[in-house]
Amino acid sequence: MTIFQAIRYTTHPADIAENERLVRAVYDELADSAPEGFRYATLRLGDSTFLHLAAADGEPPLPSLTAFQEFRAELPRRVEAPPQRDDVLMVGNYRLL
């Protein structure tokens, strides 16, 4: 069964570039490791809000990635409030996920 999650947070404006750099490093490591059954996207909304969408068949691989650990290490300093995590129920999808 595929589990979908959405994680949303807002960074301090001065930390947008740093957050984007760390997120891109996660994608580089994902590309190298190519975990099966995992799909992931990160969007930056109009301001300094980021939305991460994840779909995993089983345990997501992110916690085991060095780049993700580095991303998480300073996240509390970069964000205005703790990230909000929600389980997502897929209602419709047209070639996105």
* pLDDT computed for residue 33 by the predictor: 96
Q: What is the spatial distance between Cα 65 and Cα 9, in angstroms, rounded to a whole number?
A: 21
Total domains, the chain: 1
Supply the pLDDT for residue 49: 98
CATH of the domain at 55: 3.30.70.100
Tell me how far CA of residue 90 lies from CA of 3, 55, 96, 97, in angstroms.
10, 10, 11, 10
* Residue 1 confidence (pLDDT): 79
The answer to whether residue 13 is domain-embedded is: yes
Give a yes or no: residue 75 inside a domain: yes
**Residue 95 domain-assigned (yes or no):** no
Residue 97 lies in a domain: no
How far is it, in rounded angstroms, from Cα 88 to Cα 52? 12
Structural domain boundaries, residue 52: 2-88
Report the pLDDT value the prediction gives residue 93, as an integer from 0 to 100.
86
What global pTM score does this model have? 0.92
Structural domain includes residue 71:
yes
Per-residue pLDDT of the chain (97 residues; tens, 9 = 90+): 788 999 999 999 999 999 999 999 999 999 999 999 999 999 999 899 999 999 999 888 999 999 999 999 999 999 999 999 999 988 998 988 7
